[in-house]
Amino acid sequence: MDIFAKCYEFTIAKEAMKGGYYPYFIPLDDTEGTEVVINGRRLIMIGSNNYLGLTVDPRVRQAAMDAVAKYGTSCTGSRFLNGTLKLHVELERQLADFVGKEAALVFSTGYQTNLGTISALVGRGDVVITDREDHASIIDACRLSFGEMRRFQHNDVQSLERVLASCDEKQGKLVVVDGVYSMGGDLAPLPEICDVCERYGARLMVDDAHGIGVLGEGRGTAAHFGVTHRVDLIMGTFSKSFASLGGFIAGDEQVIHYIQHMARSLIFSASAPAANVAAALAALQIMRDEPERRERLLRIAERMRNEYRRMGLNIGNTQTPIIPILIGDDNATIWTWKALFEAGVYTNCVIPPGVPPGKSLLRTSYMATHTDEQMDRVLEAFAKVGKQTGLIP
């Protein structure tokens, strides 16, 4: 048996490419944040995680360029050995202060943050318990750990309690949830989850990649619910509101110190380049200084949620700038994506395995820098395409 046989048999993507309805890996000629250019055509971007619109902010860009001029393009080493700059340490200090924790640790990507943190903490004899809709990086991290992985029904606190009650009280227990779920845009019920974790002696980690910069005055989902002091670990990424690349974990100083010395994805990976770190620092300062960006983002999101519901579109339980258009059928989802693309609106087409079978959707997300006129055009496109495809009665 040739191990490459599966590669040669994988033809569905190439068939979609030939048919002109392949929705992935689309090269962008140019991007100005709220709009992109593809093959000379300008489209409104509502598929980005650039929530505060800072990727094109001149202050963030200048900070990155200044860092390249001073430090070069790469640290050429891991944080553990020769790759820690004073910039990394300063960003960690400011992040810990921002999210309300004693210490923070910066990784090169958000994915590596989850891999390193969970696999370092969950050892033999321990159990890690995850929500069924947790991000793939959390699932992969659990697989890399030497502990047992168990799951509970999405946002079902009673299901979580049943899992915890069935664990051996001698086991170390880590519960990991998303603060904001990246496909549904709904929030984890953190106050109730904290209650259950405390009752069973479990520690709680919140992946707040989509909450930092957006909720709780920018400090995330735990701050939004007023439970920062009850959440043990807060994880965030720089590829969303921070307009950069990287990730961090924040918590008690001794716990972060342990992760720093045990996380393989930190120790055996090159550190985040100075440009990425400087961009994240600049974005963090803007988050603090300009709350009006976040307020504008939340107003746009509320308007779009209301308008989509008024049209008759199914957007689920979202409470955030992530607004899914729930369709269900894979083919209908792809054709709706294609029709919107042709109408000048860029959305994200999500079908299995990105979501469970039968739950295909278009993922839309919004930026503080979107204009009212752009949102008018998006709504016009959805109204037209929705009627053409039967999504709107």
pLDDT bracket for residue 31 (50, 70, 90) = confident
Q: Tokens at residue 24, please?
A: 């992935």
Domain span at residue 181 reads 57-289
- State whether 255 and 327 are in the same domain: no
Based on the domain organization, do 127 and 216 belong to the same domain? yes
**Same domain, residue pair 250 and 114:** yes
One domain, residues 303 and 284: no
Query: End of a domain among 289, 313, 328?
Result: 289
User: CA 26, CA 133: separation in Å to the nearest integer?
Assistant: 26
Distance between CA atoms of residues 16 and 8, nearest Å: 16
9-38 mean pLDDT:
93
Q: What is the CATH number of the domain that holds 23?
A: 3.90.1150.10
In tens, the pLDDT along 230-266 reads 999 999 999 999 999 999 999 999 999 999 999 999 9
Distance (Å) of CA 374 to CA 27, 70, 337, 341: 22, 39, 18, 15
Catalytic residues: 182, 210, 240
pLDDT digits (tens, 9 = 90+) for 154-178: 999 999 999 999 999 899 999 999 9
Q: How many domains does the chain have?
A: 2
Contacts of 271 (CB under 8 A, 6+ apart): 75, 77, 78, 79, 83, 84, 85, 88, 108
Q: What is the pLDDT of residue 227?
A: 98
pLDDT at 164: 97
**Shared domain check, 92 and 130:** yes
Q: What is the pLDDT of residue 232?
A: 98
CA distance 38 to 85: 37
Same domain, 284 and 314: no
Question: Would you state the pLDDT for residue 152?
Answer: 98
Indicate whether 93 and 210 sit together in one domain.
Answer: yes
Per-residue pLDDT tens over the stretch 308-327 = 999 999 999 999 999 999 99
Residue 115 has pLDDT above 90, yes or no: yes
| This prediction's pTM | 0.95
**Domain check: are 75 and 142 in the same one?**
yes
CATH assignment at residue 85: 3.40.640.10
Question: Which of 233, 206, 232 is CA-nearest to residue 221?
Answer: 206
Is the pLDDT at 393 greater than 90, yes or no? Answer: no
289, 308, 327: which is the final residue of a domain?
289
pLDDT value, residue 32: 80
Percent of the chain that is helix, strand, coil (3-state, to 5): 45, 20, 35
Average pLDDT of span 369-373: 97
CB distance 173 to 142 below 8 Å: no
pLDDT tens digits for range 280-315: 999 999 999 999 999 999 999 999 999 999 999 999
Segment 101-115 mean pLDDT: 98
Length of the chain: 393
Tell whether 234 and 358 lie within a shared domain: no
Name the domain boundary from 268, 289, 310.
Answer: 289
Same domain, 297 and 236: no
Which amino acid belongs to residue 324? Answer: P
Q: What is the mean pLDDT of residues 96-107?
A: 98
Q: Average per-residue pLDDT in the chain?
A: 96
Which residue matches tokens 């803007």? 286
Residues 134, 254, single domain; the answer is yes
Q: What is the pLDDT of residue 4?
A: 97
Strands 173-178 and 127-131 come out as: parallel
Position 184 scores a pLDDT of: 95
Average pLDDT over residues 326-338: 95
What is the spatial distance between Cα 34 and Cα 367, in angstroms, rounded to a whole number?
7
If asked whether residues 205 and 243 sit together in one domain, one would say yes
Position 354 pLDDT exceeds 90: no
Residue 178 in tokens = 């998303």
